[in-house]
């Protein structure tokens, strides 16, 4: 079994199509919708965690490509700008997954992309715009 976190961007004419249910039914994937931003008649964006067998995952990605849905790994969309970060720790208590964490000895803040679920909670609390989510 594989697990992948991806960001889907699909055009307005596909927003009301059963894209996700097809991933589940035809490619035997477990789909966890981590975040959704879908507006009628506009482009839709979803952050998904997919779990399934490698063959199903590859077939599912092929299906998405064929119908014109763009997708990319989630990690590419969440950025921590280390140069901007002052290690003020304002984001630490708000991050639900400890993707942003602090070393209590050095008080240095670090960002672990694989833990980030792109919830955006850190964006408004960071006074230095060190966190950026590109959707």
| Residue among 13, 74, 66 at smallest CA distance from 46 | 74
Q: Please, what is the minimum distance in Å from the beta carbon of residue 73 to ligand SF4? A: 14
Residue 14 vs 133, nearer CB to ligand SF4:
133
Inter-helix orientation angle 19-27/54-66, to 10°: 150
Task: Name which of 62 and 112 has its Cβ closer to ligand SF4.
Answer: 112
Pairing of strands 44-52, 70-73: unpaired
Buried b (16+ CB within 10 A) or exposed e, 69-80: bebeebeebbeb
Q: How far is the CB of 45 from ligand SF4 (least distance, A)?
A: 15
Q: Which is nearer to ligand SF4, 46 or 100 (CB)?
A: 100
CA distance 12 to 39: 9
Contacts of residue 111, Cβ cutoff 8 Å, sequence gap at least 6: 80, 82, 99, 100
Shortest Å, Cβ 92 to ligand SF4: 7
Of the two residues 9 and 61, which places its CB atom closer to ligand SF4 in the complex? 9
Binding-site ranges for ligand SF4 (CB under 6 A):
78, 85-91, 94-97, 99-100, 109, 116-122, 125-126, 128, 130-131
Minimal distance, residue 106 CB to ligand SF4, in Å:
13
């Amino acid at each position: 079994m594989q697990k992948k976190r991806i960001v889907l961007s699909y055009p307005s004419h596909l927003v009301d199509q059963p894209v996700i249910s097809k991933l589940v039914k035809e490619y035997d994937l477990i789909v966890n919708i981590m975040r959704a931003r879908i507006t009628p008649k506009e482009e839709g964006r979803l952050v998904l965690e997919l779990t399934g067998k490698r063959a199903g995952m590859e077939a599912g990605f092929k299906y998405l490509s064929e119908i014109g849905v763009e997708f990319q790994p989630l990690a590419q969309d969440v950025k921590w700008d280390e140069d901007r970060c002052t290690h003020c720790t304002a984001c630490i208590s708000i991050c639900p997954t400890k993707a942003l964490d602090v070393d209590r000895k050095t008080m240095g803040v670090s960002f672990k992309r694989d833990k980030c679920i792109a919830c955006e909670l850190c964006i408004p609390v960071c006074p230095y715009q060190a966190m950026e989510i590109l959707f």
